[in-house]
Amino acid sequence: MITINDRGARTRAVLRRFSRSTTMTLLCVTLAGYLALGVASSGEFFQGPSVRTFLQYLATPILIGLAQMAALCVGQLNLAVGALGGFTACLTGVLMADDGVPAPVAVAAGVLAATLVGLVTGVFIVATRINGFIVTLGTMTILLGAQYRLAGTRTIDGYSPTLKDLGRAAPLNLPLVFLTALAAAALLAAFMYRATAGRRLLAAGGNPLAARLSGISTDRQIVLAHTLSGLLVGVAAVTATASLPGVNRSVGGDWLLPSFAAPIIGGVALNGGSVAVFGTVLAAFVMRLIDAARAQFSLDPSWVNFLIGLVVLGTVVGGRIHQTHLEKKGKAQGRTPPAPVGPGPTAEAAPPNAGGAQ
Amino acid sequence: MRTPVTTPEHDSRADGTAAIRQPAQRLPLWVNQRLGLLVLTVALAALFGLLRPAFLDERLVLFPLLRDISTLTVVALAQMVVLSVGHMNLAVGRMAAFGALFAGLGYDRLHLPLQLGLLLCLFAGAAIGFLTGWIIARTGVSSFVVTLAMDFALLGLVSLLYSALTENAAFTTQPSGLMDLRSTSLADICVGPVCGSPAVPQMAQFTVLALGGLGFLYTRTRLGRELLLTGANPAAAELSGIPTGRRVILAHALSGLLAALAGFMAAVGTGTFRASIGDDFMLPSFLGAVLGGTLLTGGVVSVLGALLGTSLVGVIRKGLDLLGVGLESLNIYLGCVLLLALSADRVRTVVSYRKVVRST
């Protein structure tokens, strides 16, 4: 038991150190980018309305990044993020506009539906032992169809004005939806770093065998991770419904790639066992900055995707080179050699795994 | 992205591939996934034909259906090649668009003949695949991340190039022969008085070539075995003297080449070279390969399975469409079919494994 405590403490220490380094870089990039944009727009970018728009459209990227991260932390991928988000948004919209359900009930129903879909996905993966990638690919297809069936070709916009007002409300130029996203991030961070259930999730993701041997059901963790992912997607869908002028079948269509980009830039390993809540939030910031810069200089929207691709590639390759450099230099104490399996851990992933995970 | 491969899967599915020669123990015939797929596809086609005789209309239904299947089979093969080394290629669609861009550019600006444009397209695809593979092999970063980033980058780059090079974001110049390639079927090729079926498009030649080439590569050549070994166990492959890095690069370059071929075929099918080519390739690429029996974990491929898996999906799609199931519900059924097929497969392998174990 002492060793586990020790390992926990060490992992936490390593984790803290690592999060400081990655997040510091991201923080610097964010601040520098923001300042540069402000200067380029001759100060207009710092003014209230600009800040508000900037933060308004930041809520969804943060939430979907976190949703993907919840699945990634047990080594699962959730391809259904976009489809589930779109489906939930349309469901909420249709419930309010067509069936006259009051907004709070519809929102609750939407979030609940998303959570349930996540739960079912997780149970299905565990029950059939089919790769999560394929299962979520299947649920993605089903949900896309369901979303199209709900919304058809129309745009649903006749729903509760209160919800729309809430979506656009911005006390002190801080949009409510952005605060919602931040609150979700804070709760998730508390859950992952402080709660026993969260630690179990990470343990199961870092080394399933060791987790099983120490009495953690990896199956249950997979179900929990997908449920959590579904819940976060549900919240993302609600913020999207609230802040968009209307929902249609294209909502969620472009969520999948950013949902992966944010955690990867933020320093989450794809093979599980690590989370970086703050890093993911910052990475969403960086991506939003690229988008804002594109709008500022009125460039082709295609530049955003191109640049995000380069940033993702640069982050992982740079991190990898950095890690190899470190290994050559000091043969970091107690670090096991990288796993022989193809998808090696990214640089940011290695330190937490060094605590006996790999 | 987990590596542990359960034994039942290996035992039952490997029988179609040359990766592992089964000793005396052979699994019963009904476990053969490809046979099941074939039977299911034929049965469904017959059912749809009975319900809607229009389904068997050679020119209006079967011809476009087979053209779609031809294209998507190549897409599935592009995915299968990377799956064979245990990697993924999320950028298949974008690589297809990238290849098609070069073909269109060649026809529009350089006034290349049809064949040379195709060559340029294939070369561009292979080059971008090579670059992807090189980054993966060199840095050791997961293929998922690298191809995801590549997808992003190409998504932007291809649209940028189209808007920079063309006026309305598409190359419409068509070299001589392109229209023929699009509409020619076996009916136009006659040997004496016997003509082929008007249902089989000429474009299927590319698919047959790709299928034959890959089949030969994986079953007959050392290179193919080395690819599979790299996928099954990279560490063991490295230790037995296989340059795994180079094999990974080869797999990605091949995937890029096949993706570009699929992009060319899709462009020929629609008649224009535009940025939206390959937008919807990712789902079919995995569907075809995985339904066909290729393992996501690497080491097991099924070339014929990719064709059969794609055909099944194509037949279901077309059949439901003819039955009047709206576009909106089509995806729901397709997703259910995918999950059901895989679950059934799972049950089958587990049951057959138990039987085999009991009989020994």
Angstrom CA distances, A162 to A93, A102, A184, stand at: 13, 10, 22
Q: Which residue of A has its CA nearest to B138?
A: A317
User: What is the rounded distance in angstroms from the CA atom of residue B221 to the CA atom of residue B215?
Assistant: 10
C-beta atoms of A309 and B283 within 8 A: no
C-beta atoms of A302 and B155 within 8 A: yes
Q: How many domains does chain A have?
A: 1
User: What is the rounded distance in angstroms from the CA atom of residue B268 to the CA atom of residue A103?
Assistant: 49
B113 part of a folded domain: yes
- Closest CB from A128, A305, A344 relative to B156: A305
Angstrom CA distances, A34 to A91, A176, A285, A307, A315, stand at: 36, 21, 10, 16, 19
Assess contact for B75 and B260: CB atoms under 8 A: no
Residues whose CB falls within 8 Å of the CB of residue A172, separated by 6 or more in sequence, listed in order: none
**Segments of chain B scoring below 50 in pLDDT:** 1-24
Q: Would you state the pLDDT for residue B213?
A: 92
Assess contact for A76 and A132: CB atoms under 8 A: yes
| Structural domain boundaries enclosing A123 | 2-34+52-336+343-353
Domain of A252, CATH number, reads: 1.10.3470
B332 neighbourhood in chain A, CB within 8 Å = 141-142, 145-146, 149
- Closest CB from B140, B331, B342 relative to A320: B140
Q: How confident is the model over A129-158, as a mean pLDDT?
A: 84
- The kind and range of the H/E element at B191 are strand B190-191
Q: Would you state the pLDDT for residue A21?
A: 66
B160 neighbourhood in chain A, CB within 8 Å = 300, 302-303, 306
Q: Is the pLDDT of residue A83 over 60?
A: yes
User: What is the rounded distance in angstroms from the CA atom of residue A81 to the CA atom of residue A63?
Assistant: 10
Domain of B91, CATH number, reads: 1.10.3470
Per-residue pLDDT reduced to its tens digit, A272-294: 778 888 888 888 888 888 888 88
Q: Would you state the pLDDT for residue A332?
A: 47
C-beta atoms of A141 and B148 within 8 A: no
Q: Would you state the pLDDT for residue A3?
A: 55
Q: What angle do CA B47, B318, B271 make, to 5 degrees?
A: 150
| Structural domain boundaries enclosing B324 | 7-175+196-359
User: What is the rounded distance in angstroms from the CA atom of residue A196 to the CA atom of residue A274?
Assistant: 15
Q: Would you state the pLDDT for residue A341?
A: 43
pTM (2 d.p.)? 0.81
A257 neighbourhood in chain B, CB within 8 Å = 148, 151-152, 155
The amino acid occupying position A91 is L
- Closest CB from A208, A257, A343 relative to B142: A343
B286 neighbourhood in chain A, CB within 8 Å = 133-134, 137
- With tokens 């952005």, the residue in question is A178
B182 part of a folded domain: no
Lowest-confidence pick of A18-27, A118-127, A309-318, B323-332: A18-27
B60 part of a folded domain: yes
A43 part of a folded domain: no
Q: Which residue of B has its CA nearest to A207?
A: B2
Q: Which residue of A has its CA nearest to B239?
A: A340
Q: B190-191 and B194-195 as β-strands: parallel, antiparallel, unpaired?
A: antiparallel
3-state secondary structure B72-106: HHHHHHHHHHHHHCCCCCCCHHHHHHHHHHHHHHH
B76 part of a folded domain: yes
B181 part of a folded domain: no
B341 neighbourhood in chain A, CB within 8 Å = none
A46 part of a folded domain: no
Question: What distance in Å separates residue B190's CA from the closest CA in chain A?
Answer: 42
Q: Would you state the pLDDT for residue A217?
A: 84
Lowest-confidence pick of A161-165, A183-187, A224-228, B248-252: A161-165
User: What is the rounded distance in angstroms from the CA atom of residue B280 to the CA atom of residue B94?
Assistant: 10
Reported as half-sphere exposure (CB side, CA atoms, 13 A), residue A127 has a value of 12
Q: How confident is the model over A321-329, as a mean pLDDT?
A: 76
pLDDT top residue among A331 and A29: A29
A318 part of a folded domain: yes
- With tokens 């999320």, the residue in question is B90
Q: B190-191 and B170-171 as β-strands: parallel, antiparallel, unpaired?
A: unpaired
Q: Is A58 helix (H, G, I), strand (E, B) or coil?
A: coil
User: What is the rounded distance in angstroms from the CA atom of residue A76 to the CA atom of residue A135?
Assistant: 11
Q: How far is CA A344 from the centre of its chain?
A: 21
Q: Is the pLDDT of residue A238 over 70?
A: yes
Q: How confident is the model over A201-227, as a mean pLDDT?
A: 86
C-beta atoms of B156 and A302 within 8 A: yes
Q: Would you state the pLDDT for residue B77?
A: 93
- Closest CB from A149, A304, A341 relative to B3: A341
Q: Would you state the pLDDT for residue A5?
A: 62
How many residue pairs from chains A and B have C-beta atoms closer than 8 A? 171
Question: What distance in Å separates residue B98's CA from the closest CA in chain A?
Answer: 13
First to last CA, chain A: 20
Q: Would you state the pLDDT for residue A244?
A: 82
The pair of structure tokens assigned to A30 is 């964010």
Per-residue pLDDT reduced to its tens digit, A247-274: 888 888 888 888 888 888 887 877 777 8
B190 part of a folded domain: no
Q: How far is CA B323 from the centre of its chain?
A: 27
The average confidence (pLDDT) of chain B is 81
Q: How many domains does chain B have?
A: 1
C-beta atoms of B142 and A305 within 8 A: no
B189 part of a folded domain: no
